[in-house]
Amino acid sequence: MKVVITGGAGFLGRRLAAKLLERGALTGPDGTARNIDEIVLVDLAPATGFDDARIRPVTSDIADPSVLSRVIDAETRTVFHLAAVVSAQAEADFDLGMRVNVDATRLLLDTCRTVGHRPRVVFTSSVAVYGGTLPVVVRDDTAVNPQSSYGVQKAIGELLVSDYSRKGFIDGRVLRLPTVSVRPGKPNKAASAFASGIIREPLHGEESVCPVAPDTRVWLLSPRRAIECLVQGHEVPAEALERGRAVNLPGVSVSAGEMVTALQQIAGKAVAARVRWEIDPAIERIVGSWPGAWDTARANALGFTGDKDFHSIVRAYIEDDRGRGVRA
């Protein structure tokens, strides 16, 4: 079988590809394991660094209608749709966000529908679909109420994935990802970029600006666990998703202040002192609209596993990335 990963040259896309190469197989539509013959990494940027004949990088824009129809074909049983214009960027460039987050998602679903064999589509959504006055406990079926264009666009993607699944066009799964932290490399244009930056930059000897108040609470998942959750999101049988296609993934709830305290406990006072607090109201407005925690009972029952605590997230980053000198 063939797997397509959009955003395949991105940080999560590349790690997911590496994990799939290692596994060698995914569950097929009949419930049995199928060998992965090809992993297509579609991205605007070239997906470099793989030395495996199963990897096929396609450097193209998924919003271009001809691209997806070339890469999704009769052999494609699985699509991980990770490509997106991130939160702060979608807020700054409304049309770009609509083009990639809405139009390309729909194009992808329509292409999957055209091949006719109901591919599994794992769609990554976000904490950003929530907002406004939130209940004390946020569950998978809590009302979405996005307060950013990114959140609106992801919520539209969720509705489409659900309806295309109900119609039998695809077998879709919506995974609402916590903020992934600690991401290696350079900061991206997500409003939540600080949630990696305030740990990563100080550990690399650089200053980092935290644009939200110390008591701002975020909901985090390590890259390692995020990749495991993406695979699990694929493996969950469709019958288990009858109550709803969207699953709120596990996370740890931590405030920006607690993050820096953890950094200090693990790496010392001098490292933690490299965080400078400078509120950016635009960032704080977006991040502050997201839930800082949610109920994970359903995710747990479906076999998803998160991190133990924020300390273990920081230690995982040091082991997986800083130790290998991964910066990009």
Residues that bind a second copy (CB under 8 A): 94, 132, 141-147, 149, 152, 155-156, 159-160, 162-163, 166-167, 243-244
- Would you say 144 or 230 has its CB closer to a second copy? 144
Q: Mention every residue, 6+ apart, whose C-beta is less than 8 A from residue 127.
A: 176, 177, 178, 179, 219, 290, 291, 294
DSSP alpha helices (H): ranges in 116-222? Answer: 149-166, 194-203
- Give me the least distance between CB of 9 and a second copy, in Å please: 29
- Would you say 9 or 85 has its CB closer to a second copy? 85
- Would you say 134 or 231 has its CB closer to a second copy? 134
Residue 146, CB-side half-sphere exposure with 13 Å CA sphere: 19
- Would you say 27 or 87 has its CB closer to a second copy? 87
168: left (phi over 0), alpha (psi -120 to 50) or beta: left
What distance in Å separates the CA atoms of residue 189 and residue 145, rounded to the nearest whole number?
22
What is the enclosing helix (H) or strand (E) of 262?
helix 256-267
- Give me the least distance between CB of 92 and a second copy, in Å please: 11
Which residues does residue 218 pair with via DSSP β-bridges, in sequence order? 254
- Give me the least distance between CB of 113 and a second copy, in Å please: 9
- Would you say 126 or 222 has its CB closer to a second copy? 126
- Give me the least distance between CB of 104 and a second copy, in Å please: 15
Count of C-beta atoms within a 10 Å radius of residue 113: 15
- Would you say 140 or 307 has its CB closer to a second copy? 140
- Give me the least distance between CB of 310 and a second copy, in Å please: 30
What distance in Å separates the CA atoms of residue 107 and residue 77, rounded to the nearest whole number?
17
Catalytic annotation present for 150: yes
- Give me the least distance between CB of 132 and a second copy, in Å please: 7
Question: Do residues 220 and 195 lie in contact, with contact meaning Cβ atoms separated by under 8 Å?
Answer: yes
What distance in Å separates the CA atoms of residue 259 and residue 256, rounded to the nearest whole number?
5
Burial environment of residue 315 by CB neighbours within 10 A (0 to 12, 13 to 18, 19 or more): middle
What distance in Å separates the CA atoms of residue 184 and residue 269, rounded to the nearest whole number?
22
Count of C-beta atoms within a 10 Å radius of residue 325: 8
Task: Enumerate the active-site residues.
Answer: 150
